[in-house]
Amino acid sequence: MSDAPGHQAGRSARPDPSTGGHEVLRAVRPGAARPGSANPAAHLHPAARLEDAFDRRVAAVMRRRGWTLRIEPYAGYGGPGWVRVFARTLLAAPEVGDEDLPGAGAAAQAGAPTATAVRGWRSFATAQVAGAELEIRVGGRTHHVRTDRGGYLDVRLESDLEPGWHDVGLRSTSGAEASAPVHVISPDVRWGLVSDVDDTVVVTRLPRMFVAAWNTLVRHENAREPVPGMAGLYARLLGGRTDIPVVYLSTGAWNAAPAVGRFLRRFGYPAGPMLLTDWGPTNTGWFRSGREHKLSQLRRLMDEFPQIRWVLVGDDGQHDPQIYASAAAHRPAHVRAVLIRQLTFAEHVLAHGLPAPAPETVRAEHRAVHDGIAVLQGADGYELLRAVQAAGIVLD
């Protein structure tokens, strides 16, 4: 998923004889000058055009084999008068039941009982459908949107929903249906929690790609390791309040979101939407910047909820301290504290090849402290909780 919405409302698709009468699915990826424009390919990087050509061939083959369009919903959020809805359109084999689809874990992000666990590779055994038209029902309002060139939907829509968790209905022109949970935040809420995922709440040992691939694609999600004490830390910070927003911000792929959601629910982490990324070529290059993704999403949250001060939680294995320090420097009034989980010697070596935090990580932590923001560190959730209690940080 990208940092900008990838949709176009109210555009009709025309049947194309070369596709067997199916809709012409225009390929659009967020970042183009005009998403959904008549000639989006003119704005695309060559890598993106190659990816689109490959995707179209795969989709055509899968359709001939009887694969059908499905909607994979993700949890979203919103405020008074609006909601941000996330979803993806894809093709799946007809013998694959809804409970085995990658999106089976979406409800777990909203706190529902966890779905049956599946291995992560199932989340990637699908074919994306670009430019699919969707009807979205938000309370008493109906909107018509179109997915981007990766099949993703990230759109802000007008809403009449009250604060709390709600289900938003999604329906494709082919009749596929899904329900995406959204958390509407009350304007009276003053606190929020943003949490990294990899090596902050779940041990993934990124970016050592062989280990990450094994954890994501092969290893059973029930066998994934939670970071000790982090769920308890979050529970104590929230104090039983369900109105405080919790957002999981990661550079991981959207394909893995449902499996991560089921993991979080299984190990007692609070409900909340995820802000993830779409791996692969972008409109302007071969890869998107995970660091820029995190920073832009943080700034967007601070713009959308100017009354909220956030507790930012991450680890010192990658760029979380630098990202959080940058966000705090630009919006110090929006940051309550920064909590950093300290990786072990072995985890640091796996993460970036050094036995200790990188020098720029240490400098970033010092910058945040100088800006008057509490920066607390601990090897796990238990140590961080003691530091939080000693600092008197409560979200009430």
The tens digit of pLDDT for each residue in 68-117 reads 888 989 999 999 999 999 999 988 777 666 666 655 556 777 877 655 66
Contacts of 357 (CB under 8 A, 6+ apart): 316, 317, 321, 342, 343, 348
Q: 194 with 249: CB under 8 angstroms?
A: yes
**Cα 339 from Cα 315, distance rounded (Å):** 8
Q: Which residue has the tokens 């820029």?
A: 292
pLDDT of 385 above 80: yes
Domain shared by 222 and 167, yes or no: no
User: Does residue 332 lie within any of the structural domains?
Assistant: yes
User: Tens digits of per-residue pLDDT, 291-316?
Assistant: 888 999 999 999 999 999 999 999 98
Q: How confident is the model at residue 133 (pLDDT cuts 50, 70, 90)?
A: very high
For 40-56, give one letter per residue: b (16+ CB within 10 A) or e. Answer: beebbbebbeebbeebe
User: Tens digits of per-residue pLDDT, 14-24?
Assistant: 334 333 334 33
Comparison of pLDDT for 32 and 213, the residue scoring more: 213
Contacts of 38 (CB under 8 A, 6+ apart): none
Q: How deeply is 190 buried, as exposed, middle or buried, from its count of CB atoms within 10 A (0-12, 13-18, 19+)?
A: middle
Peptide bond just before 207 cis, omega within 30 deg: yes
User: Does residue 71 lie within any of the structural domains?
Assistant: yes
User: Does residue 161 lie within any of the structural domains?
Assistant: yes
User: Does residue 119 lie within any of the structural domains?
Assistant: yes
Q: What is the mean pLDDT of residues 44-53?
A: 57
Domain shared by 170 and 292, yes or no: no
Domain shared by 174 and 195, yes or no: no
What's the pLDDT score for residue 305?
98
Instruction: Tell me which of 184, 218, 242 is where a domain ends.
Output: 184
Contacts of 1 (CB under 8 A, 6+ apart): 86, 152, 154, 254, 275, 276, 277, 278
Mean pLDDT over the full length of the chain: 76
Domain shared by 178 and 195, yes or no: no
Domain shared by 180 and 213, yes or no: no
Q: How deeply is 157 buried, as exposed, middle or buried, from its count of CB atoms within 10 A (0-12, 13-18, 19+)?
A: buried
Q: Which residue has the tokens 């997915």?
A: 147
pLDDT of 365 above 80: no
User: Does residue 12 lie within any of the structural domains?
Assistant: no
Task: Find the angle CA(130)-CA(133)-CA(138) to the nearest 5 degrees.
Answer: 125
Specify the range with the lowest mean pLDDT, choosing from 111-125, 176-190, 267-281. 111-125
Q: What is the mean pLDDT of residues 207-231?
A: 69
Domain shared by 174 and 198, yes or no: no
**Cα 108 from Cα 262, distance rounded (Å):** 6
Domain shared by 200 and 177, yes or no: no
User: Does residue 54 lie within any of the structural domains?
Assistant: yes
Contacts of 319 (CB under 8 A, 6+ apart): 290, 291, 294, 361
What's the pLDDT score for residue 245?
97
Domain shared by 177 and 222, yes or no: no
What's the pLDDT score for residue 258?
78
Q: How confident is the model at residue 361 (pLDDT cuts 50, 70, 90)?
A: low
264 to 36, 157, 228: CA distances (angstroms): 35, 27, 13
Instruction: Tell me which of 184, 206, 238 is where a domain ends.
Output: 184
User: Does residue 6 lie within any of the structural domains?
Assistant: no
User: Does residue 341 lie within any of the structural domains?
Assistant: yes
User: Tens digits of per-residue pLDDT, 155-209?
Assistant: 999 999 999 999 999 999 989 999 999 999 999 999 999 999 988 998 876 554 5
pLDDT of 122 above 80: no
- DSSP secondary structure of 293-305: HHHHHHHHHHHH-
Specify the range with the lowest mean pLDDT, choosing from 64-73, 266-275, 332-341, 381-390. 64-73
Name the domain count of the chain.
2
Comparison of pLDDT for 213 and 153, the residue scoring more: 153
User: What is the three-class DSSP state of 365?
Assistant: helix
Domain shared by 22 and 134, yes or no: yes
Q: Which of 309, 326, 298, 314 is nearest to 377 (CA)?
A: 314
For 341-379, give one letter per residue: b (16+ CB within 10 A) or e. Answer: bbbeeebbbbbbeeeebbeebeebbebbeeeebbbbbbe
Which residues are registered as beta bridge partners of 90?
Answer: 70, 128
What's the pLDDT score for residue 313?
97
- List the domain range (segments joined by +) for residue 196: 191-391
Instruction: Tell me which of 184, 217, 239 is where a domain ends.
Output: 184
pLDDT of 346 above 70: no
Comparison of pLDDT for 381 and 107, the residue scoring more: 381
pTM, two decimals, is 0.80
Provide the CATH number for the domain around residue 261: 3.40.50.1000
Comparison of pLDDT for 84 and 62, the residue scoring more: 84
Contacts of 64 (CB under 8 A, 6+ apart): 20
Specify the range with the lowest mean pLDDT, choosing from 44-53, 61-70, 328-337, 369-378. 44-53
Query: Percent of the chain scored above 70 by pLDDT?
Result: 62
pLDDT of 1 above 60: no
Domain shared by 300 and 355, yes or no: yes
Q: How confident is the model at residue 150 (pLDDT cuts 50, 70, 90)?
A: confident
Domain shared by 302 and 374, yes or no: yes
Specify the range with the lowest mean pLDDT, choosing from 24-38, 49-63, 188-202. 24-38
What's the pLDDT score for residue 69?
87
pLDDT of 216 above 80: no
Domain shared by 198 and 273, yes or no: yes
